[in-house]
Amino acid sequence: MSKVQVSSTNDNSVYTYLVELCREITSSNQLIKLDRLYRIARRELDVDSKCIIQGIQQLQDNLVIRQNSRLMREDLLDNETRREIYALVKLNPGITFNAIRKRMGRGTKVLLWHLEVLQEFDCIHSMSFDRKSNALFTRDIAKGEWEETGLYLFFMYHNETTKQILDLLHGDKSFSVKELARVMEVTRQAVDYQLKQLLERGIIDHFTEKVGRRVRRYFLPRRVKHLYAKVKRWMLGDRT
């Protein structure tokens, strides 16, 4: 392997050297082995070993490299399949693997492998909201900013019945199950099932109104209204 020169012994130069060294390794289709990386750098650089160890750790912390990978983070989207998966998740936060598979029409094993690579480098992360599937998100849709409620709203936005319910409840009016079913032109059972899901997650709330008989009415709490408006703007292309 040819030498990569560093201009000084500061931490940035060591880091830059290690990045270039990793590029040489992956361009030869070899696995990145951290112990080998250390040995080469120790032999080639006249710096304290602590600087090399810190540089390698920084590469891992920044998810630039992964142990036993033939790829660096910068190479991930060179592959057409990974690029397609990433684009679908980017444009459709909360999408599931099954939905991706249906849209792309590729084999399950191949898609799973490429998805796992993207997840290893933290380009995509997932949240589990039910027993059937995980919701997928890119790094710009993080739990810290959107809260778990926001991520769940992205996930449920892909369910047409739930989306219609949220759209109706997003206004100032509350609705009963009967009213929702009539407006949406679906069965009361379908509405009732989705409302129970939303209630369990704390997405909606309800109160009981007595007009001749007791009727339960559903509405969106103010905090959820704000989050849902933000989710809807994002899904419609407004990323501000």
In this structure, the answer to whether residues 226 and 169 fall within a common structural domain is yes
Confidence of residue 217 (pLDDT cuts 50, 70, 90): very high
Tell me the per-residue pLDDT of 40-94, one tens digit each, with 9 for 90 and over: 999 999 888 999 999 999 999 999 999 999 999 999 999 999 999 999 999 999 9
pLDDT of residue 1: 46
Residue 212 lies in a domain: yes
Same-domain status, 227 and 152: yes
User: Can you name the residues that pair with 72 across neighbouring β-strands?
Assistant: 65
Q: Do 24 and 39 share a domain, yes or no? A: yes
pLDDT in tens, 143-165: 778 989 999 999 999 999 999 99
Beta carbons within 10 angstroms of residue 113's beta carbon: 12
Instruction: Examine the fold and report which residue of 88, 118, 141 is the final residue of a domain before the chain moves on.
Output: 141
**pLDDT over 80 at 7, yes or no:** no
Q: CATH code at 122? A: 1.10.10.10
| Domain, as residue range, for 61 | 11-75
Give a yes or no: residue 59 inside a domain: yes
Domains of the chain: total: 3
- Check residues 1 and 68 and name the one with the higher pLDDT: 68
Is residue 5 included in any domain, yes or no?
no
211 and 224 share one domain: yes
CB burial of residue 80 (10 Å; 0-12, 13-18, 19+): exposed
Q: Which of 39, 60, 75 is the last residue of a domain?
A: 75
User: What is the distance between the alpha carbons of residues 90 and 76, in angstroms, rounded to a whole number?
Assistant: 15
The two tokens of residue 230 are 């933000």
Pair 163, 123 in one domain: no
Evaluate whether residue 15 is within a structural domain: yes
Q: Looking at the domain assignment, is residue 111 inside a domain? A: yes
Pairing verdict, β 205-211 and 213-219: antiparallel
pLDDT tens string 163-211: 999 999 998 899 999 999 999 999 999 999 999 999 999 999 999 988 7
Give per-residue pLDDT as tens, 121-137.
999 999 998 777 899 99
240 occurs within a structural domain: no
Q: Is residue 176 part of a domain?
A: yes
* pLDDT score of 142: 83
Whether 225 and 152 share a structural domain: yes
Q: Which residue do the tokens 């033939």 mark?
A: 70
Give the end of a domain, one of 141, 163, 182. Answer: 141
Q: Are 148 and 127 in contact (CB under 8 A)?
A: yes
pTM for the model stands at 0.83
Statement to judge: residues 168 and 187 lie in one domain: yes
What's the pLDDT at 10?
56
C-alpha 30/C-alpha 83 separation (Å) is 22
Looking at residue 8, its pLDDT comes to 47
With a cut of 80, say whether residue 23 has pLDDT above it: yes
Nearest Cα residue to 135 out of 126, 143, 144: 126
